[in-house]
C-alpha cells in the first residue's frame, strides 16, 4: 500500500513537474520579452531626450534670431542718432571757430604777420556769423556724441556675439526652423506614446 501511494505520488509529481516546467518556459519567454521591451524603452528614452534637446535648440535659435533683429534695428537707430549728433557737433564747431577766427581777423594789420598762417597780406578776412554756442555747448555736444558712439559700439559687439551664437547651432539658413520644430514635436509625441505602450 505504501509502495502504491509512493507510485501515485510519483505520477502526480511528474505531472506537477511538467506543469511547472511549462510555466517556467512561459515565464522565461516573458522575461525575454520584458528584457527586449526594457531595451526598447531605453532607446526610446534616448530618442525622446534627443528630441527634447533639439526642440530647446530650436527655441533658443528662434529667440536669438529675434534678439539679432532687435539689435540690428537698435543699431540702425543709433547710427542715425550718431549721424544727426555728429552733424550738429560739426556745425556748432564750425560756427564757434569761425567766430574765433573773426576775433583774430579783427586784430590783423596789413604788413604784419598773421599768427595763424604767417601771411603779411590779409585780403579775405573772416566775417562774423550768428553763433549762440559756447565752448561748454561744444564740449557737451562732443560728450553726447561719444556716449552715442559708445552705445553704438556696444550694440555692434552684441550683434557679433549673437551672430556667433546663432552659427554655433549649425542650422542651415534655408531651413524653416518653426516648421522643423513642429515636425520634431510630432515625432516626440509619437515616441512618448510608443514608450507608454511598451
Q: Is the pLDDT of residue 124 over 70?
A: no
- Average pLDDT score over residue span 128-148: 84
Q: How confident is the model at residue 120 (pLDDT cuts 50, 70, 90)?
A: low
Cα atoms in the Cβ-side hemisphere of radius 13 Å centred on 118: 0
Q: For residue range 25-52, what is the model confidence (pLDDT) as tens digits?
A: 999 998 888 888 889 999 999 999 999 9
pLDDT at 131 > cutoff 70: no
In this prediction the pTM is 0.66
* Strand ranges in the chain using DSSP code E only, listed in sequence order: none
Q: How large a percentage of the chain has pLDDT more than 90?
A: 64
**Cβ-Cβ contacts under 8 Å for 68 (sequence gap 6 or more):** 159, 162, 163, 166
Q: Which residue has the higher pLDDT, 41 or 106?
A: 41
The proportion of the chain whose per-residue pLDDT surpasses 70, expressed as a percent, equals: 84
Alpha helices (runs of H) in 108-176, residue ranges in sequence order? 135-168
pLDDT for 114 equals: 66
CB atoms within 10 A of CB 59: 12
The DSSP 8-state label assigned to residue 117 in this structure reads T
Q: Phi/psi of residue 104, each to 5°?
A: -65, -40
pLDDT-derived band of residue 94, with 50, 70 and 90 as boundaries? Answer: confident
pLDDT number for residue 93: 86
Q: Look at residues 146, 158, 141 and name the one whose alpha carbon lies nearest to residue 96.
A: 141
4-18, 21-35, 128-142, 175-189: segment of lowest average pLDDT: 128-142
**Average pLDDT estimate for 9-23:** 93
Amino acid at each position: 500500500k505504501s509502495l502504491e501511494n509512493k507510485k501515485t505520488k510519483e505520477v502526480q509529481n511528474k505531472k506537477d513537474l511538467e506543469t511547472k516546467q511549462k510555466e517556467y518556459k512561459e515565464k522565461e519567454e516573458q522575461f525575454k520579452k520584458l528584457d527586449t521591451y526594457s531595451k526598447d524603452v531605453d532607446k526610446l528614452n534616448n530618442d525622446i531626450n534627443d528630441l527634447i534637446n533639439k526642440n530647446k535648440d530650436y527655441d533658443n535659435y528662434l529667440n536669438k534670431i529675434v534678439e539679432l533683429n532687435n539689435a540690428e534695428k537698435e543699431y540702425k537707430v543709433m547710427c542715425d542718432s550718431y549721424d544727426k549728433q555728429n552733424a550738429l557737433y560739426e556745425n556748432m564747431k564750425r560756427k564757434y571757430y569761425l567766430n574765433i577766427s573773426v576775433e583774430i581777423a579783427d586784430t590783423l594789420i596789413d604788413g604784419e604777420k598773421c599768427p595763424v598762417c604767417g601771411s603779411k597780406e590779409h585780403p579775405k578776412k573772416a566775417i562774423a556769423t550768428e553763433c549762440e554756442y559756447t565752448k561748454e555747448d561744444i564740449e557737451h555736444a562732443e560728450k553726447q556724441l561719444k556716449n552715442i558712439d559708445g552705445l553704438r559700439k556696444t550694440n555692434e559687439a552684441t550683434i557679433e556675439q549673437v551672430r556667433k551664437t546663432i552659427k554655433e547651432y549649425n542650422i542651415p539658413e534655408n531651413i524653416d526652423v518653426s516648421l522643423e520644430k513642429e515636425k520634431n514635436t510630432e515625432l516626440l509625441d509619437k515616441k512618448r506614446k510608443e514608450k507608454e505602450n511598451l
